[in-house]
Amino acid sequence: MGQPAEKQPRATYADLEAVPSTKVAELVRGTLHVFPRPAPRHARAASRLGGKLSGPFDLGEGGPGGWTILVEPELHLPDPRTPGEFDVLVPDLAGWRIERMPELPETAFFPLAPDWICEVLSPSTEDVDRREKMPLYAHEGVLHAWLVDPIRRTLEVFSLAAGRGWEPGPVHRGAARVRVVPFEAIEIDLSVLWAK
């Protein structure tokens, strides 16, 4: 009979801070995840989507305004399993309704969960994004989540259903022109996200 596996010590914020700036690091339920910086297709999709949303929703240009939209904000969310500890998540994009976050925090991180997140999937991040981060976003009450896959050219839409977790919505593909909650006030041409 083999020896029981030793329990790995819980990673700390100091471990995360020690990661080189050429990498992306997240702390999920005590486990440090380190990823390469986004590949060009990933970065392009995130940048273009952020650009499409920022004008009408963050600045109110040609749209309703009422949001703060940010690229790669560092979220500090309470770890539901370990009181006093927190998870550090870095979604590719996140948005807060102005009525929930009227001013940016003075800290280098955001202690308030966003109203919307978008993760741009890559082979190195997809498993963590789907299996580890999505449940944490739901637990913290994030109402809307988008998963963008620039390789498969898809946009998956999720809404938080009270007491039931994520409710999958439509999956949009290719060059579809879509109106997607919570930003249905504008039409998004998905083909611009996949352009090389």
Q: What is the pTM of this model?
A: 0.93
172 forms beta bridges with 155
Q: Are 37 and 22 in contact (CB under 8 A)?
A: yes
Tens of pLDDT along 77-123?
998 788 888 999 999 999 999 999 999 999 999 999 999 999 999 99
| Least confidently predicted of 3-7, 160-164, 178-182 | 3-7
- Averaged pLDDT, 19-33: 93
Q: Name which of 63, 59, 115 is nearest 91 in CA terms.
A: 115
Residue 147 pLDDT: 98
- Averaged pLDDT, 143-154: 98
> Please, what is the end-to-end C-alpha distance for the chain in angstroms?
54
Residue 5 pLDDT: 54
Tens of pLDDT along 75-86?
999 987 888 889
Residue 118's SS3 state is strand
Q: Which domains does the chain have, with CATH numbers?
A: 38-70+91-194 (3.90.1570.10)
Task: Give me the torsion for CA of 22, 106, 159, 57, rounded to 10°.
Answer: -90
The residue assigned the tokens 């390469």 is 36
